Amino acid sequence: MQGCLQGKVAFITGGGSGIGAATAERFAQEGARVVICGRRLEPLEQVVASIRAGGGEAEAMQVDVSNEEAFVGALKATAEKYGQLDVLVNNAMAFTWGSIEEMTTEQWRANFTTSVDGTFWGTRAAMQLMKAHGGSIVNLSSICGELGTPWMSGYSASKAAVTNFSRAAAAEGAPYGVRVNVVIPAVVETPATEGMLADENSRKSTEKLIPMGRVGQPEELANAILFLASDQASYITGATLPVDGGRSAVLVTALD
């Protein structure tokens, strides 16, 4: 797929680490001009420096996607600066942890501001910007949105919403050549899972539940996102692609 995003302009949220950073690197390798955003500038600048050192084009914008005005403004500014917006990856997320009976309304709603509201605001703005020439939107959901996950009811509900919202967006964008697809990770080795995977017993227990016997790497998610973002997936829209080592394909696995 060498050069499959040549000349394309791509905007990636949550681009300072993990899946977002790996996706930015991968997009740049394929010729895209990449804009990444996040709440903290320092990690964004590190990703940009890495991309530029490899000969790619990248820019960082300190933007919290839970702020509608700031996020939409950043997307419009990107399209104005580069003359177009071809790809949007809604990767940024936030979550709270806790039981349903003890969760406050504020904690419940905190799961939705970034994952659902941010995805909606970004998708709406991108569809408006892409309507004249087409484009690709890739939204990140989670296996938690597919399967019941105790102690993560708010996050699970928000990711389920992202998946079904994306199907509706795909139907509305299709007449204009705007494709909307979803990538569904399970456990991926990122800063968000660092605490859980640092414990050897916890890591081994997690890996036993995955048919491929290991957790995913950000680069593996980035490759899937790249495919859906590129013209290689020109006839794919409204799809949900699990990238989870087979975790969602099984009800149970035998544990030693």
Q: Is residue 255 part of a domain?
A: no
Q: CB within 8 A of 10, min separation 6: which ones?
A: 27, 32, 33, 34, 35, 86, 87, 88, 89, 229
Q: Is residue 202 part of a domain?
A: no
Q: Is residue 106 part of a domain?
A: yes
Q: Is residue 197 part of a domain?
A: no
Task: Look at the chain and report how many structural domains it folds into.
Answer: 1
Whether 185 contacts 144, CB under 8 Å:
no
Q: Is residue 54 part of a domain?
A: yes
Q: CB within 8 A of 209, min separation 6: which ones?
A: 247, 253
**Domain of residue 71, CATH code:** 3.40.50.720
Residue in 82, 155, 176, 235 annotated catalytic: 155
Output the pLDDT for position 197.
65
Q: Is residue 46 part of a domain?
A: yes
Q: Is residue 117 part of a domain?
A: yes
Say how far apart CA 43 and CA 133 lie, in whole Å.
32
Range of the domain at 35: 9-191+217-249
Active site residue 176: no
Whether 107 contacts 98, CB under 8 Å:
yes
Output the pLDDT for position 204.
80
Local confidence pLDDT in tens for the 256 residues of the chain: 679 999 999 999 999 999 999 999 999 999 999 999 999 999 999 999 999 999 999 999 999 999 999 999 999 999 999 999 999 999 999 888 899 999 999 999 999 999 999 999 999 999 999 999 999 999 999 999 999 889 999 999 999 999 999 999 999 999 999 999 999 999 898 777 666 666 777 778 777 888 898 888 999 999 999 999 999 999 999 999 999 999 999 876 555 5
Q: Is residue 178 part of a domain?
A: yes
